Amino acid sequence: MAHQNSNEPLADLTQLGQSNLTGDTRALYLKLFSGEMFKGFQNNTIARDLVMKRTLRNGKSLQFIYTGRTTSEFHTPGNSILGNSDGAPPVAEKTITVDDLLISSAFVYELDEILAHYDLRSEISRKIGYALAEKYDRLIFRAIARGARKASPVSATSFEEPGGTQIRVGSSANESDAFDSAALVNAFYDAAAAMDEKGVSMDGRVAVLNPRQYYSLIQAVGTNGLINRDVQGTALQSGQGIIEIAGIKIYKSMNIPFLGNYGTKYGGTTGVTDPGNTGDFVAEALSADDNYDDTSTGINNNYGTAAEVGTTSCGLIFQREAAGAVEAIGPQVQVTSGDTSIIYQGDVIVGRLAMGADYLNPAAAVELYVGGTAPSEF
């Protein structure tokens, strides 16, 4: 057996961070961070896969084309067929522009990593992914709400195309109607009927509610018209009991516009009662910081101001054609290295993406609201 002098380097030392035993001894360690960032993003965004997503290359915007309806007629023998006399179908366009670069970053001091007894970068990476996913979802949901309040982009004279739909939940002026399971079920069937009447495809119909609305539906299974043996027992207790209503698959999110807040609102005699010391974070209000109109810094699409989004919206039901998202840069992670890391004795970790969203087909968007007056168009 060969013995090595204690002053000599260990020749067969395994460098777990090297790629193929050569180069930077920490190169592979960054892969863990990247994976955690993507996991955090994917686990917390739902809107990305529920709308029309396109990748943008070598341009600042993407064009979507609408074609209106046309008519049919009986042919008269001997007459030439030269197209409908009204020139149908009419055509319109919608352009979605990429907003400025969206980033979330953190500086990780190398000494802190050495002293910490936990994986610091992994934890930070997840939070960066959460931050990007939260903004991504909020912008798309606001675009869908805007579409539900709009007329069709096809507006040629003598042609009529269906626009968006707004459906009232309940019949009182109380915000608590938003949590009434029976009223919600009725609203779902009204929304499904409205989309059927407007010729919207059954494929890809979904709803996004806040968590308390979702669980209210689950708790009332068997009494609110959702009598389905498949959702009893274990499935019911797991919080995944409600799969769909009227062919509409249901998701829950804290990122939908909800009564002037994101996700949840407590309040007085008209809202839901705070069950305890749950903290302010669950009732994050729409504020001036959420004024994402097309004149805001970094915004190139119109997601509306906090006032325009309003205080009565309480859920979204839509089909995937309701909105579109374009990505010029998908979720990515960047980490400093080399001289920069030496100078600062740590690394700056950046998660980034470049995206934009807007409504496409208003007929495929339904906004739920409470109170006597529907939210205004913006």
3-state secondary structure of 96: strand
- Looking up tokens 């960054």 gives 30
Q: Which pLDDT value is given to residue 294?
A: 87
The DSSP string of 156-173 is -TT------EEEE-SSSS
Quote the DSSP letter at residue 320.
Answer: G
- Can you give the C-alpha Rg of the chain in angstroms? 26
- What distance in Å separates the CA atoms of residue 120 and residue 101, rounded to the nearest whole number? 25
Cis, peptide link before residue 89, omega less than 30° from 0:
yes
Residue type at 139?
A: L
Measure Cα distances from 175 to 172, 258, 266, 270, 316 in Å.
8, 10, 10, 5, 16
- What distance in Å separates the CA atoms of residue 15 and residue 27, rounded to the nearest whole number? 10
Q: How many DSSP H helices and E strands does the chain contain?
A: 8, 14
Pairing status of strand 165-168 against strand 365-369: parallel
The pLDDT tens digits of the residues spanning 157-170 come to 777 889 999 999 99
Quote the DSSP letter at residue 153.
Answer: S
Q: Which fold has domain 29-68+89-369?
A: phage-related protein like fold (3.90.1690)
What number of CA atoms fall less than 13 Å from residue 61's CA on the CB side? 11
**Contact criterion met (CB below 8 Å) for 154 and 90:** yes
Angle in degrees, CA 320, 255, 298, rounded to 5: 85
3-state secondary structure of 39: helix
3-state helix, strand, coil in the chain (%, to 5): 30, 25, 45
Statement: the pTM of the whole predicted model exceeds 0.85:
no
**Chain-centroid distance, C-alpha 341:** 35
- What distance in Å separates the CA atoms of residue 376 and residue 378, rounded to the nearest whole number? 6
Query: Could you tell me the residue ranges of all domains in the chain?
Result: 29-68+89-369
The DSSP string of 255-303 is -SEETTEES--B-TTTSBPP-S---GGGGPBP-GGG-B-TTSTT--S--
> Which is nearest to 40 in space by CA: 128, 107, 171, 103?
128
**Contact criterion met (CB below 8 Å) for 337 and 108:** no
Q: Which pLDDT value is given to residue 236?
A: 44
Q: Which residues of the chain have pLDDT under 50?
A: 1, 10-11, 227, 229, 231-241, 269
- What distance in Å separates the CA atoms of residue 266 and residue 280, rounded to the nearest whole number? 10
